[in-house]
Structure 1
Amino acid sequence: MNPRLFLALRPPPEVREGLLAIMGGVAGARWQDDAQLHLTLRYLGEVDIDVAEDLVDAFVHLRFAPLDIALTGTGCFERKGITHTLWAGVFPSPQLLALQSRAERCCIRAGLPPETRKYAPHVTLARLNATSGPVAPFCARTMGQSLGAWRADSYILYESHLHPGGSQYELVRVYRATE
């Protein structure tokens, strides 16, 4: 079975605690747990094992300086008028966008197809379905809040394992910033 991979920044414990503290109030929402909170740089998807090994090595050469990340309020993603995800927003700093762009180029060089969706930095808070309760009260309560900030000095390659209760993430490798 081929690994299902993604690159992400991991908020520190105090930021994750703040995110966990605001979660709730939407019936039927599948809230993320502490182990699932991350800011995706690039979803790689299910990749051939040889490509995965090449990527593990290629990301070593993806240089970046530590960068400041600021979480700014909440929002939701919809598909066909149905809200499917609640998220904490991330200020899209030039440094974050540059790191994401370099990660994208690294993936393309390794043979992955280019990402077709526009990069929308966020931390997923909950997954919803058509039977989930209204999200407006949650968004009204949280949309203007400053939800934490941190200095990111590493990013992580994760493998995602699908389970009935939600995805579980296994750390594959940590890549440190170069100053």
Structure 2
Amino acid sequence: MHRLFLGLRPPGAIRARLLSLMGGIPGARWQEDDQLHVTVRFIGAVDRPAAEDAVAAIDALRLPAAEAALCGTGAFDTRGRLNSVWAGLSPREPLERLHRKVDQALARMGLEPERRAYLPHITLARLNAPPEAAAAFLAAHAALASDPFAFDRLILFESRLGHGAARYEPVADWPLG
């Protein structure tokens, strides 16, 4: 089985900026440079034929250009416990449009459509902590902003779980715009 997702890599200067912010949350597992991405669509664990079908579905698409800027920080929680801290992106519309197009193509090939609302973001850290653990970090970086930047490729990643951080290996990619 292959654990797959489609994502976008921000340019090196943006990744460097995000890496410079990391720290100050006790127990956080900060992302490394090669982990910084925007998930466009999580596919999940699929066998090789389904992975090949996903590649064929994306091959058939004309992918729109996508540009965004860093815009604040936030956190996701589950039952009152923070599980990740992220950097936001704005405007959301170009990334949402790309997500919908990819999601529809994958649904046509037989994958379950995405059920969760799509919020484009770049995960900075994973954690299991009460909300107050990240309050100072989120307040300090609430005004995070950048000039707009373009994403140039949609990348199919295989996520390999193991000891320590997940490793994301590019499997295929497609130009945007």
TM-score by length of 1: 0.93
Aligned to 2:174: 175
Query: How far apart, in 1, do the equivalents of 2:136 and 2:30 lie?
Result: 16
Q: Residues 15 and 148 of structure 1 are in contact (CA less than 8 Å); yes or no, is this contact kept in structure 2?
A: no
Query: How far apart, in 1, do the equivalents of 2:47 and 2:6 lie?
Result: 16
Q: Residues 27 and 133 of structure 1 are in contact (CA less than 8 Å); yes or no, is this contact kept in structure 2?
A: no
Q: Residues 7 and 158 of structure 1 are in contact (CA less than 8 Å); yes or no, is this contact kept in structure 2?
A: yes
Aligned pairs for 1:23-34 within 5 A: 23-34=22-33
Residues 67, 130 of structure 1: CA spacing in aligned structure 2 closer, same or farther, 3 A cutoff?
Answer: closer
Residues 78, 126 of structure 1: CA spacing in aligned structure 2 closer, same or farther, 3 A cutoff?
Answer: same
Q: Residues 92 and 120 of structure 2 are in contact (CA less than 8 Å); yes or no, is this contact kept in structure 1?
A: no
Letter in 2 for 1:158: F
Letter in 1 for 2:16: E
SS of the residue aligned with 2:133? coil
CA positional deviation for 1:130:
3.4
Aligned to 1:20: 19
Q: What's the RMSD between the two structures over aligned residues?
A: 1.6
Aligned to 1:149: 148
Q: Structure 1 stretch 87-96 or stretch 39-48: which is displaced more? A: 87-96
Letter in 1 for 2:122: V
Aligned to 1:10: 9
CA positional deviation for 1:147:
4.4
CA positional deviation for 1:92:
4.2
- Number of equivalenced pairs: 177
Residues 132, 168 of structure 1: CA spacing in aligned structure 2 closer, same or farther, 3 A cutoff?
Answer: farther
Unaligned runs of 5+ in 2: none
Deviations 1:72-104 (A, max 9, x none): 010101111111100001124322211110100
Q: Residues 77 and 84 of structure 1 are in contact (CA less than 8 Å); yes or no, is this contact kept in structure 2?
A: yes
Query: How far apart, in 2, do the equivalents of 1:148 and 1:83 lie?
Result: 29
SS of the residue aligned with 1:155? strand
CA positional deviation for 1:176:
0.6
Letter in 2 for 1:105: Q
CA positional deviation for 1:66:
2.2
TM-score by length of 2: 0.94
Letter in 1 for 2:29: R
Aligned to 1:166: 165
Aligned to 1:77: 76
Q: Structure 1 stretch 54-63 or stretch 9-18: which is displaced more? A: 54-63
Percent identity over paired residues: 44
Aligned to 2:121: 122
Q: Structure 1 stretch 83-92 or stretch 56-65: which is displaced more? A: 56-65
SS of the residue aligned with 1:27? coil
Q: Residues 65 and 153 of structure 1 are in contact (CA less than 8 Å); yes or no, is this contact kept in structure 2?
A: no
Q: Residues 92 and 121 of structure 1 are in contact (CA less than 8 Å); yes or no, is this contact kept in structure 2?
A: no
Q: Residues 64 and 98 of structure 2 are in contact (CA less than 8 Å); yes or no, is this contact kept in structure 1?
A: no
